[in-house]
Amino acid sequence: MRVAEQFASPEAAVPRAILALENLNGAATYHETYGARQPLAAYRVSLSNVASRLLVVLDELPTTRPAGPERGAADANCEQRLLEATDHLLDALMEHMDDCGSIIRSMFPTSDEARHRTVYSKYKRSVEPYRKHIGAIVNYIKHNQGRLRSVNFAWLGGSIPGYYVEGPIGSGVGPAQAIHGEEPTAFSFNRDVPFHICSLFAVGDRLAAALRSADSRIDLGHAAPATEPMPSDLSTALRRASALPRVFFPDEVKKPMPLIQLNGDALTIELPSSAVKPSGPPLGSKVLISARGDGVTRSFKLPYLRR
């Protein structure tokens, strides 16, 4: 999903759906018919939930230590908290996608189901790549006994923390092929966090377009906020995500580059971006894995290790 947004500051940065919902200009909503929140309230609550979960992930990142044979109980606990925070973030993102669909539903009376289907179908196609990505992970964890496991590329003076989805592979376990494909790969937090933020803004842009299709009176312009922008969980997450190193796992260097960049206070959100080129881990890096045994499985396939 493509997105390119410029904001005066992280505090002024909001997905375009917020602006559309703040500028209904007399457009009717039917949320009470469906037992739902008023659309702007629903979006704000959903966005706030995602932002707070993003912050928890970012809070845990500095405390993460590369997994290794000498790691202590405290390091293992930090690592587990980061994986749990990531699991909660993925759940919140999936819930956000469902909330956006409900907001579109609230713009149509029950008597206008045909037009609702047309608008929603177009919106759904536009966000399908991202929904499919997070949906695959969340559903795999829920229905296939999948678990998040940590993986780090580590070298003298640096490391790249990340995670993969572990699942059954034949008689053993490893990076789930339904998520990672045939090659055993993983997701670095250095790319994953900016990727989710960029996608959050891209979904907001597509939702705004769907709202305008529902009622042409809705204004999509970037109107100046009525009050001075205030720090929020989202603005804090944007500032902190912009400081993440642009050092990714080897396979991610070839993927579309998600950019969260501060130039002074000015904020750029862009996917894909050609303004910055990520780098991979240096030669000689160690791949450090955290896994938990189940007392039965004896065969393990590990990310980035072919054997």
C-beta separation of 33 from 299 below 8 A: no
- DSSP class of residue 215? -
CB contact burial 94-112 (16+ within 10 A = b; e otherwise): bebbebbbbbbbbbbeeee
Q: What is the predicted pLDDT for the residue at 229?
A: 60
Q: Is 86 in contact with 150 (CB distance < 8 Å)?
A: no
Task: Count Cβ atoms below 10 Å from residue 265 Cβ, excluding itself.
Answer: 12
- For residue 175 the two structure tokens come to 């990076």
Angle, CA of 232, 235 and 27, to the nearest 5°: 75
What is the spatial distance between Cα 173 and Cα 289, in angstroms, rounded to a whole number? Answer: 13
**pTM for the model:** 0.93
Element (H, E) at 141: helix 113-143
* 146 CB-contact burial (10 Å; exposed 0-12 / middle 13-18 / buried 19+): buried
How many residues does the structure list for the chain?
A: 307
Predicted confidence at residue 252, as pLDDT, reads 97
Contacts of 40 (CB under 8 A, 6+ apart): 18, 21, 22
Q: Is 64 helix (H, G, I), strand (E, B) or coil?
A: coil
DSSP result, 280-304:
-PPTT-EEEE-----SS---B--TT
Q: Is the peptide bond before 10 cis (omega within 30 degrees of 0)?
A: no
Residue whose token pair is 């559309």: 20
Which run of H or E residues covers position 167? Answer: strand 158-169
Those residues with Cβ within 8 angstroms of residue 45's Cβ, 6 or more apart along the chain or in another chain:
37, 99
Strand ranges for 179-306 from DSSP E: 187-188, 259-263, 266-271, 286-289
How do the pLDDT tens digits run along the chain, 307 residues long?
999 999 999 999 999 999 999 999 999 999 999 999 999 999 999 999 999 999 999 999 976 555 444 555 556 678 889 999 999 999 999 999 999 999 999 999 999 999 999 999 999 999 999 999 999 999 999 999 899 999 999 998 899 999 999 998 888 888 999 999 888 999 999 999 999 999 999 999 999 999 999 999 998 865 444 445 667 999 999 999 999 999 999 999 999 999 999 999 999 999 999 999 999 999 989 998 877 777 777 778 888 886 4
Contact yes or no for 57/193 (Cβ under 8 A): yes
